[in-house]
A and B are shown apart, each in its own frame.
Chain A
Amino acid sequence: MENASAPPDSVLGRRDAMATLANARASEIACGLTALGNDIAYVELRPVETGLVMLQGRIGGDGAAFNLGEATVTRATVRIPSGEVGFSYVLGRDRYKARLAALCDALWQNPSSRESVERYVLAPIKAHQESERARQRAQTAATRVDFFTLVRGED
């Protein structure tokens, strides 16, 4: 991906925000959004829908791509009154979460609300995800086994 036509920072930032939202819990997003006001008006451009996407995998960095299987994905598209259109694709069938994530994406695109979304919605979720990851790493590290070869005392 590190080629001459690397996406601009705004794209990278949005990608990062969308990934964070996709991995968050609905309650976390909802909780963060209350800080931005209770009733944020929005229009659903397309009803929230659940479908399947084909996941592709490859073995090693140079293996041929193969179809791994299908995953359930829910997508939402909303428009806020200032005109920004927010999208979300989240794993699973949580329509409520998909809608909230799309709303956050729309608000993130609006320069006047980006700061609040980053601070009240994304930052706590990122912190939580980071601590969760650290906890898991610690748990895994505790069961680590180091193999080494003993020199047998035969001579």
Chain B
Amino acid sequence: MLAPAFADPVRASQAVFRAVMDAMAHPGIIVATDELTRAPQPFGLAAAAVALTLLDYETPVWLDPALAQSPDIAAWLRFHTGAPLTDDPRQAAFGIIADPPWMPQFEEFSQGSMEYPDRAATLVLQVNRLSDNGGFCLSGPGIKGSRALQAAPLPADFVMRMRANRALFPRGLDIIFASDTTLAALPRSVHVAMEQS
């Protein structure tokens, strides 16, 4: 059954947009978002809030099998955002992934072209754990020195993938991590390494 989304769509989507913008500008910082109180399972609240904020009729969206098998989620997204759903990751402007360890390779999404690097996809990865100690060591624009970020679960070769993604710059994917009520982002400009311990 179709469910409501933001109670106050204008204010809430502006707040979420601000959170995503902050997270993108400062890769690896964790921002809180609690604008959304309910979303169809197994959609995480933060991931659903990002979807409601960023998707519209011009942004084809690809859902990973965990989300795509729920007809409620497809109907909910279509009703509230008007975004077309696509089965082909290459056509998608956004990919929403509830089960990151099994996500497709980055090359299967649109990585933009040298003429139009802005046509690369943005991936929203739903993670269970997001914290600022241990895990990855991030550096690059928006980070003074380096910053630590831990996100789980992720594909085993995630650092390798991010390194290849950085090498494509100015092409490449942008990543948003969404836990239940927090967000962090890895724009394509970030350098990701494993923390030395």
What is A's interface to B at a CB cutoff of 8 Å?
A: 43-47, 49, 79, 83, 85
Contacts and interface: CB of A to CB of B under 8 A. Distances in A.
Contacts, number: 20
B1 A79 contact: yes
Contact of B4 (A44, A49, A83): A44
Given A45-B4, A45-B79, A79-B1, 5 more contacts: A44-B4, A45-B2, A45-B5, A46-B5, A85-B2
B3 interface: yes
Contacts of B3: 45
Contact of A79 (B2, B5, B8): B2
A87 to B, nearest CB: 11
A1 to B, nearest CB: 26
A79 B2 CA distance: 8
12 contacts: A45-B2, A45-B3, A45-B5, A45-B79, A46-B9, A46-B79, A46-B80, A47-B7, A47-B8, A47-B9, A49-B9, A85-B2
Contacts of B9: 46-47, 49
Interface in B1-47: 1-5, 7-9
Contacts of B79: 45-46
Contacts of A44: 4
Interface string B95-122: 0000000000000000000000000000
A48 to B, nearest CB: 11
Contacts of A43: 4
If over half of B's interface residues share one DSSP class (helix, strand or loop), that class is named, otherwise mixed; here it is: loop
A103 B67 CA distance: 31
A83 B1 contact: yes
A97 B1 CA distance: 25
A128 to B, nearest CB: 33
Nearest to A79: B2
A47 B8 CA distance: 7
A120 to B, nearest CB: 26
Contacts of A49: 9
A74 to B, nearest CB: 15
A85 B4 CA distance: 12
B85 to A, nearest CB: 19
Nearest to B5: A46
A43 to B, nearest CB: 6
| Residue of B3, B4, B5, B80 contacting most chain A CB atoms (<10 Å) | B4
Nearest to A83: B1
Nearest to A45: B4
Nearest to A85: B2
Contacts of A85: 2
Contacts of A83: 1
B1 A46 contact: no
In the complex, the 9 A-B pairs of residues with the closest C-beta atoms, listed nearest first: A45-B4, A83-B1, A45-B2, A85-B2, A79-B2, A43-B4, A47-B9, A44-B4, A46-B80
A104 B132 CA distance: 52
A43 B38 CA distance: 14
A89 to B, nearest CB: 15
